[in-house]
Amino acid sequence: MKAGDLGEMMVLTLRDPDRALDVLRGLDLPMAARWMVLLLAVTLSTLLAGLSLLLFPIEVDNPVSRMLSEPLTLAGIQFGAMVMSALFVAQIGRLFGGQGDFPDALLAIGWVELMLVGLQAVQVVMMVVFPATATLLSMVAFGLFLYLAVTMTKALHGFTSTPKVVLGLIGSLFLLGFVLSLIAAAFGIVPEVAP
């Protein structure tokens, strides 16, 4: 794939997620390459997060923000969260009659994250040039994430009902959040609550 192909693939993903996923599947990437897509997305995202922290330092006043300001920790958390997301998307989708599997879910999530990294790069530049646009771009990024999560999950499993996929994703996010909070509590990473 060349740089121009990546741009066309991004547009295709936004316009027709089913065809985009077919193209991704058609690449017939081995499992190692799918892991590398995810690792590349995490690495680029972590580098951009580090750059934005250098440009706009934030006050580190609790264990969570301290942890997220460490690049390797942030990368590990992102990588783990994406792998768990791929596992949840594959397994929960199959519970509801979907056809997707973990390797394709991993590829889809890696691709979605790469698209979001592109938007994150634009956001860092815009924060420098037009700081007032940062909040707007954050909302656009969140909206794009939701859209891509729903449409790519539908494409992955062959689902036709958008509301059911939305409900399934919301339930999965709550479940993922619960699991991550248990892991955080096990490692003693619990935000302090003011009395």
pLDDT of the residue at 2: 63
* Closest C-alpha among 177, 147, 153 to residue 165: 153
pLDDT of the residue at 177: 78
Q: What is the number of H-type helices and E-type strands within the chain?
A: 8, 0
Q: Which residues contact 40 (CB under 8 A, 6 or more apart)?
A: 110, 114
Q: Are 7 and 78 in contact (CB under 8 A)?
A: no
Look at the chain and count its residues.
195
* Rounded CA separation 42/117 (Å): 9
Q: Counting beta carbons within 10 angstroms of the beta carbon of residue 126, is it exposed (0 to 12), middle (13 to 18) or buried (19 or more)? A: middle
Q: How many domains, the chain?
A: 1
The answer to whether position 33 is within a domain reads yes
| Chain segment 31-62, per-residue pLDDT in tens | 999 999 999 999 999 999 888 888 877 776 77
The answer to whether position 195 is within a domain reads no
The answer to whether position 19 is within a domain reads yes
The answer to whether position 191 is within a domain reads no
33: number of Cβ within 10 Å: 12
DSSP state of 190: -
The answer to whether position 47 is within a domain reads yes
Question: CB-hemisphere CA count at 13 Å for 157?
Answer: 26
∠ CA 152-139-154, nearest 5°, is 10
* Closest C-alpha among 150, 147, 144 to residue 165: 150
The answer to whether position 162 is within a domain reads yes
The answer to whether position 194 is within a domain reads no
Q: Are 38 and 83 in contact (CB under 8 A)?
A: yes
Domain span holding position 59: 3-186
Ranges of residues in the chain whose predicted pLDDT is under 70: 1-4, 60, 63-65, 67-68, 189-195
